[in-house]
A and B are shown apart, each in its own frame.
Chain A
Amino acid sequence: MTAFYLDIALFAAKLGLVFFVILTLAAYLVFAERKILAWVQDRKGPNRVGPFGLLQPLADLIKLLTKEDFVPAAADKWLFYLAPAMAAIPAILIFAVIPFGAPLTIAGRQLPLVVADLNVGLLFFLALSSIAVYGVAIGGWASNSKYSLLGGIRGLAQLISYELSMGLSLVPIVMLARSFSLTDIVEAQATVPFIVYQPLAFIIFLISITAECKRIPFDLPEAEGELVAGFHSEYSGMRFGLFFVGEYINIIVLGGLATTFFLGGWHGPLLPPVVWFSLKTLAFAFFFIWMRGTLPRLRYDQLMHLGWKVLTPLALVNILVTGWWLVLIR
């Protein structure tokens, strides 16, 4: 009986820790983004609140919480309330299947460092990232504003297109690891990370997840130059904050997934596994921010061209080649 309670306590501790770390990390990623973008533009970035501006996320939070929670007069109220949550919750749920460290042994029992080791983890991720599309689409629709609606439509089209190439780029990984479980996929990369076998799939996946978290150069649903703020134009206060935090949680989670699928997850020499996992994930986050400081936004037709005429066929060819290769070496 005590063993049962111990299990539950350990699990709850793990859950709480993951939740806390992800939310804090997302808040500080906002700060990191502002800093790094400032450096790219030869500025200093936020440095007034606390030492080196480190309390800036806290100040932002207070600001967002005390802002007016505005709902447009003709908005569809319930959907309007629901949309931010639909954008943020799937993002954080995806992290449940990501193994972020080697299994620990505490008090004689194994504690796998993953919230839920689903045997269909990869499909779970694809499904949840499809649900996240609803946040954008519903948010854009419920605001009852032309800019929001345009942003929502763009988001829908973009996410559906790139989900395809993202899913297809992961098929070779499943073929190599012979499992949908992310824990097994990490285990399969104990010696060689899959990026060595699958550089093309890695590039396709990287481009697709950038589109998937709606970041420059694929930030068409927001496109502040044309659509005010796109699908979240009408949102204010903490509801806007939820969209915002959702985007950064998405960065962390998708970075973690790229790590898991291609960079060998928590495997790495010398340093502890959790540290390796964090380093790789944060490197992806840095890359996303760096990319935002570098590339301009794609035009809508260029976006569709890249997704349907380049990435998807390439991913299909890649699957074929991987298949032949696997048959040949057997």
Chain B
Amino acid sequence: MSVKSAFHFMSLFSDTKAILGGFRITLSHMLRKPVTIQYPEQKRTPSPRFRARIVLTRDPDGDERCVACYLCSAACPVDCISMQSAEREDGRRYAEWFRINFSRCIFCGLCAEACPTMAIQMTPDYEICKRDIMDLVYEKEDLLIDGCGKDDSYNFYKHAGIGVTQPRGAGLEESKPVDVRTLMP
């Protein structure tokens, strides 16, 4: 037997072994327990930071957090957020109407990241299929929830320091405004 044919013979041997090894692996998988989750009956619990249906939250005092700053709308890569800003008697801004088109939303979470007031937040509720595509356009009353969502102690106006909900200087990280006249020499 020449060297070359001996080599061929060895490769026949190792090839056969390799093929049979493949058969062994598929057989062992056949006998393994499937990893399938039977969806409508079994549901996996998504993690709290799962990105699905979007909500608008309220601050701990029960007021709407959203100040209609349009940052979420600007951040959204598919332009599916639209709103109209307005101002209350006391100077606090709010959205007159606020609309998210979930049929376009790609659940990227950029809106939630952009929001300075933690108003807009992602929730793990992923079951929002609808028969009619127009039902996926959520208005403000569909989006607004009663709770605070994830950051339940955060209140934008307590930190921002503009005198809307409290007099100037009454915020958490603020000191009282200085009366410049007292500084005179």
Residues of A within 8 A of B (CB): 36, 38-44, 290-291, 293-295
Contacts and interface: CB of A to CB of B under 8 A. Distances in A.
A321 to B, nearest CB: 18
A152 B23 CA distance: 30
B34 to A, nearest CB: 5
B36 A43 contact: yes
B178 interface: no
Contact of A36 (B30, B32, B36, B38): B30
Contacts of B26: 40, 290, 293-294
Contact of B34 (A36, A43, A291, A293): A43
B19 A295 contact: yes
| Majority DSSP secondary structure for residues of B touching A | helix
B46 interface: no
B35 A42 contact: yes
Interface of B: 19, 22-23, 25-27, 29-32, 34-36, 38
Contacts of B34: 38-39, 42-44
Q: Most B CB atoms within 10 A — which of A38, A41, A294? A: A294
A293 B38 CA distance: 23
Nearest to B12: A310
B36 A294 contact: no
A50 to B, nearest CB: 16
Nearest to B25: A294
A40 B30 contact: yes
B19 A42 contact: no
B116 to A, nearest CB: 45
A44 B36 contact: yes
A284 B126 CA distance: 45
Contacts of A290: 23, 26-27, 30
Given A44-B34, A44-B36, A39 B19 contact: no
Contact of A40 (B29, B35, B36): B29
A39 B27 CA distance: 9
Interface of A is mostly: helix
A36 B25 CA distance: 14
Nearest to B34: A44
Given A36-B30, A42-B29, A295-B22, 11 more contacts: A39-B29, A40-B29, A41-B29, A42-B32, A42-B36, A44-B34, A44-B38, A290-B26, A291-B23, A293-B30, A294-B26
A41 B30 CA distance: 8
Contacts of A41: 29
Q: Tell which of B25, B26, B31, B35 has the most Cβ of chain A within 10 Å.
A: B26
A39 B28 CA distance: 10
Contacts of A291: 23
Nearest to A217: B19
23 contacts: A36-B30, A38-B34, A39-B29, A39-B30, A39-B31, A39-B34, A40-B26, A40-B30, A42-B32, A42-B35, A42-B36, A43-B35, A43-B36, A44-B36, A44-B38, A290-B26, A291-B23, A293-B26, A293-B30, A294-B23, A294-B26, A295-B19, A295-B22
A266 B47 CA distance: 58
A295 B38 CA distance: 29
A60 B77 CA distance: 42
Contacts of B22: 294-295
A41 B34 CA distance: 8
A291 B35 CA distance: 22
3 closest pairs, A vs B, by CB? A39-B30, A294-B26, A44-B36
B136 to A, nearest CB: 26
Contacts of A38: 34
A42 B28 CA distance: 10
Contacts of A294: 22-23, 25-26
Contacts of B32: 39, 42
Nearest to B30: A39
Contacts of A39: 29-32, 34
